[in-house]
Structure formats: structure tokens, C-alpha cells
A and B are shown apart, each in its own frame.
Chain A
Amino acid sequence: MSNIEAILDQDADPAAETGAVDDSDYARAILNILNDAGDEQKSQSDSQRAMLNILEDLEIEKTRLESTQKALINMLDDLETERGKVDKTNIELREVNDAMRSFVATAAHDLRSPLASMVGFSSLLANNWPTLSEEKRLKFATTIDRQSHKLTWLVNDLLTLSSIEGGVLNTQPEVIVLAEAINQCLAASSRDTTSVTVSCSPDLLVRADPSHLGRIIENYLQNAFKYGEPPVQIQASRAGGMVEIQVVDHGPGVPREFKTKLFGKFARADIPSTRNKKGTGLGLSIVRGLAEANGGQALFQPMVPHGSCFIVLLPTDTGAPPTDSGSRHTDERPRQ
């Protein structure tokens, strides 16, 4: 029996009641103190446990916050990336918009010029017919005729480009004797093509829409005359499963920074040699569209030391275009 239990036993004994009062109180007090100490210990233990729980919670919260912070940083990175993309898209859209505005202004100018001649000379004829000499009448009528053809050509270019862009270009490929097609094109050209030399085997066949082939060659020729220098040469040969037609000039060539835009819509290099040349910048874009619509490809190759070589690859008479031609973009060909 412990001392405390003994005290309690004495406390329970009525006979010892009178003489054991102080001891009992003392024992009770100690017991109370011990109880209090136990409670205190329990309380401290509870507090400690609570603190540990709080610390654990804080640790969890800290981990969660770190995770949230990481997620936020990732989100900010993503937002930054997205913002970069949006900025890039905005710049591209602005460029397209500027190019479109510039194109509309150029197209309006180029449409208005032949129209001005036609309106002006027809008014002169209508208002002064009796007083005009036969020679003058003929001269005015010839000018109206020439300018109306120019206008027709321009309108056709715009319509062709619109068909290409809209994916509704009507292509009717035929087997064509290339040498004959080139000669026909030279004869029908609005330019003096007598100085153009042609190198093409008479048995070389190409499969393409005849009108498209004619337009491709004519546009390349126009380009060579307008921006290049003579001599202008047309060379054609087989290249793998394709026929390669080259139109070569010996002009200043294409500025390096403009090469990637060469076959793009509205493409006109802003350099002194082209700044005052009239044109909408549609010719090469049309060539690319027509070449691709016929299972071919349009390419550019700079000449050394100067000059340009514009190339079109078209299927041969087998009618089997190369499998990857449709997916390849028209671009500069690496210098050989």
C-alpha cells in the first residue's frame, strides 16, 4: 500500500477523524496538486499534440502553397508564351492587312490607268469625230484596243488568283508538246520576244492545262523583261519524273531578303530597280498557284554572278505527279 493510499485509508476511518484532519487535507491537497499536475501534463500533451497538428497542417499548407506557386509560375509562363503568340499573330495580321491595303491601292491604280486611256480616247473620238483625221481616229482606236487588252489581262489575273485562293481553279490537264507551247506563248506575248532563245527538245511532253502552262511561261517572261536584263533564255529538260522549264535573265537578280516572299501574294521588292515598275505583284503568285494545281512546283534559283532563273516543274506525259509535290511549298532552290 502506498503512503497516499494509507492516508486515504486513515481518512476513511471515523475513529481517526479528529486527529487526522490536517493530514487528510494535506493529502487531498497533494492529490489535488498531483491531479492538477496530471491535468497540466495532459493539457501540455494536448497542446503539444495540437501544436504538432498545426505544424503538420502548416507543412501541408506550405507544400500546397508551393505547389500553387509552381502552378501559378507555370500559368504565367504559359500566359507569356500565349501573349508572345498573340503578339506574333497581331504582327502577322497587321502585315497581311497592310499588304492587302497596299494591294487594293495598287490594283485600283493599275485598273484605273488603262481605263483612263480608254475613257479619254473614246471621249475624244465621240466628241471630235468629224474633225479628226483618219490617222488620228485609227491611232485612238488602236490605243483603246491595246489598253482594253491590258485591262482584260489584269482582271483575268485577279480572277485567276481569286480562283486559286478559293480552291476552285478549273484544271484540265492534257499532254502537250512543250516546244510548240513555248513557241505559241512567245508569238502571243505582248512583249517583243524575238531576242528570247529557246532550248527544248521537240519530243519533250508535259502534262498540264494548256492555258495554265501558257500563263506560267508568259508570267515568267513578263517578269524577266520587267525586272531582268537580256539575254532572256527558256530552257526545258527532263528532271526525274518531271519536266523542268527554266526562264533565265541576266538582270540584277532578287534581293536576298526578298527571296522568301518572291512567290507570295502582292510580292514586290521595294528597291530602286523595281520601285517605279508598274504591276500588282501577282504574276509569280499566280505561277505558283497554277504550277501546284497542275501537280508541279515553282522555284527560284539565283544566277552567278547575277541574274535570275525562274523554274517550273510539271509532270511529264505519264500523268503521275510526284507524291510529295502537292505538299511542298514553292521556294528558293539551293544553289547547285
Chain B
Amino acid sequence: MKSVVIVEDDPDIQSLIATIFSMDPRFSVVGLAESAEEAVEIARTNEPEIIVLDDRLAGELTGVEAVPQFKEVAPEAKIILFTAHADLQARVVNQPAIDAFLLKTETGELLPLAQQLTNMLSLL
């Protein structure tokens, strides 16, 4: 079972992502956070395989700013930047630490993308 941490400050979106992953038995949501600071601590403890990360969050750090910290505490985690900011994609395209970018309106793609990323992980 692949472990997932969800970093999202909108409670409805957070609930939506958690529901999507909970409906697939191959995934287990091990942590929910509203801020990057909180999520880094969760990731340090749980070392998730997937981190679904929003950019604008409740704390001081943005999601993109926190990426190096996530990679430090959970180097094997695949990071999906899941945001409503379409223009962010161009800014993060050259950041290898971010494994995938997905717009929030494309929720149907979230699960296949997570599976694809974790399958890649198991092949290494």
C-alpha cells in the first residue's frame, strides 16, 4: 500500500483528495496538513511515497518553497504539485524535485498520476 500525505489549506479540497485516495485500496492517507511546516514534520515521521502539495498554504512557506525540505526528510517521496495556479506550471517545469504538476480542476487525473509515479518508483 502506498502512503500519501496531503498538504492543502482548503478543507473541502483536502477532503476531496483524501476521499479520492481512500476509494483506492492501493493507497493509504497517512497525513493531512494545512501548512507546509506541519507537513514537513508529518513527512519526516511517515516518509510517504506520495505528497500531494498545494502552493498557497496556511503557513509562512509556500508549497514550492517547501519542496527541498520534503526531499530532505522524505527523499523517496514523489511530489505532485496540485494547485489552482496554472501559471505555476511554467515556473516549476525545470525543478526536478517536483515530479508532476496537476491543476485542481483535473481531479480525475490525480489517482492515475499517483499510481504511475509509484509504479515508476517500484521499478527503480
Give the chain B neighbours of A105 by CB distance below 8 A.
85-87
Q: A123-B108, A124-B20, A276-B56 are in contact. Are A117 and B12 (CB under 8 A)?
A: yes
Instruction: State how many angstroms separate the Cβ of A152 from the closest Cβ of chain B.
Output: 15
Q: A109-B84, A128-B23, A276-B57 are in contact. Are A119 and B105 (CB under 8 A)?
A: yes
Which of A110, A123, A143 is B12 in contact with, Cβ under 8 Å? A143
Question: Is there an interface contact between B57 and A113, defined as CB atoms closer than 8 Å?
Answer: no
Instruction: State how many angstroms separate the Cβ of A301 from the closest Cβ of chain B.
Output: 30
Report the count of interface residues on A (CB-CB < 8 A).
21
Give the chain A neighbours of B56 by CB distance below 8 A.
109, 276, 278
In whole angstroms, how far apart are the Cα atoms of A119 and B85 in the complex?
Answer: 17
Give the chain B neighbours of A124 by CB distance below 8 A.
16, 19-20, 23
Question: Is there an interface contact between B15 and A113, defined as CB atoms closer than 8 Å?
Answer: no
Report if B10 contacts A (CB, 8 A).
Answer: yes
In whole angstroms, how far apart are the Cα atoms of A123 and B59 in the complex?
Answer: 30
Instruction: State how many angstroms separate the Cβ of B9 from the closest Cβ of chain A.
Output: 8
In whole angstroms, how far apart are the Cα atoms of A335 and B87 in the complex?
Answer: 42
In whole angstroms, how far apart are the Cα atoms of A105 and B55 in the complex?
Answer: 14
Give the chain A neighbours of B13 by CB distance below 8 A.
113, 116-117, 120
In whole angstroms, how far apart are the Cα atoms of A272 and B58 in the complex?
Answer: 11
Question: Is there an interface contact between A113 and B84, defined as CB atoms closer than 8 Å?
Answer: yes
B residues 69-120 touching A (CB-CB < 8 Å)? 84-87, 103-105, 107-108
Question: Is there an interface contact between A123 and B105, defined as CB atoms closer than 8 Å?
Answer: no
Which of B16, B57, B58 is A121 in contact with, Cβ under 8 Å? B16
Instruction: State how many angstroms separate the Cβ of B91 from the closest Cβ of chain A.
Output: 11
| B interface residues (Cβ-Cβ under 8 A, vs A) | 9-10, 12-13, 15-16, 19-20, 23, 56-60, 84-87, 103-105, 107-108
16 A-B pairs in the complex with CB atoms less than 8 angstroms apart? A112-B86, A112-B105, A113-B13, A116-B16, A116-B104, A116-B107, A117-B16, A119-B105, A120-B16, A120-B20, A121-B12, A124-B16, A124-B20, A276-B9, A276-B60, A278-B56
Nearest 10 Cβ contacts at the A-B interface: A116-B104, A120-B107, A112-B84, A120-B16, A109-B84, A117-B12, A113-B84, A116-B105, A143-B12, A109-B85
